Amino acid sequence: MLRNLFDRKSEPESLSASGQGARIPRHSGAWVALRKRLVEEPGLRVIDTGATSPNNINYLTNLGHSIFLADPVHDASTGDWQKGTDEDGKPIWDVDAYLNQTFNFSDRMFDVVLLWTTLDYLPEAFVAPVVDRLFSAMNPGGQVLAFFHTRDKGEATAYCRFHLTDTDTVEMQPGPTYPIQRAFTNRSIQQLFSAWSGFRQFLAKDALSEVLITR
């Protein structure tokens, strides 16, 4: 669900804390690159996806940015988006209704999206439309930080909330048991973001691929 757009003086007390398990630090080259921009360019508008992270709100607002919160995976799993089935028995999804609830930006434009592993957990029908909606809502030069699982089975595919730090690491916190829907290949990621102007991939030693995509 669409949450709120906070400025520096807003108080997030009404928002619930996220995550269920212990936080695990993870080095992130993509976060290193994006953090440099966030530190050097105050006044950016940032979308953070996932359950509410007071840590992320405080970190970003203290740097002078505003933050918009959305929880696309939760919304996809709890909303009544299936309109029926087609002649082959496959679900028909109300994609527009989902987008209008989860990514209704009221004509605001953004500079940074913390997408994390969101696309790995969405129904297939939602994936490309979400990318298109973000493309239309970002300023030129805006950037998306996204992680993708390199396999679709095993403990490493568990859904996690990501928390920002002022170091070269992000903290992964196991959350609800949303099932992973797919594992993207490098080629499929590039095809999904083919309309975007820049694509930078970062090597990682674990089961996640990191990319920083530029509008």
Strand pairing partners for 91?
Answer: 85
Q: Is the pLDDT of residue 129 over 80?
A: yes
- As a whole number, mean pLDDT of residues 113-122 equals 98
pLDDT digits (tens, 9 = 90+) for 75-92: 999 988 988 888 888 889
Q: What is the pTM of this model?
A: 0.89
Q: Give CA separation, 180 vs 61, 64, 123, 124, in Å.
A: 31, 34, 10, 11
Q: Is the pLDDT of residue 14 over 60?
A: no
- Note the Cα 133 to chain centre separation in Å: 13
* CB-CB neighbours of 82 under 10 Å: 12
Selected residue with higher pLDDT from 125 and 17: 125
Q: Is the pLDDT of residue 12 over 80?
A: no
- CATH code, residues 2-8+17-214: 3.40.50.150
pLDDT digits (tens, 9 = 90+) for 142-180: 999 999 999 999 888 999 999 999 999 999 999 999 999
* Contact call for residues 28 and 93 (beta carbons, < 8 A): no
Q: What single letter denotes the amino acid at residue 157?
A: T
Q: Is the pLDDT of residue 19 over 90?
A: no
Average pLDDT taken over every residue of the chain: 89
Q: Is the pLDDT of residue 49 over 60?
A: yes
- pLDDT score, position 203: 80
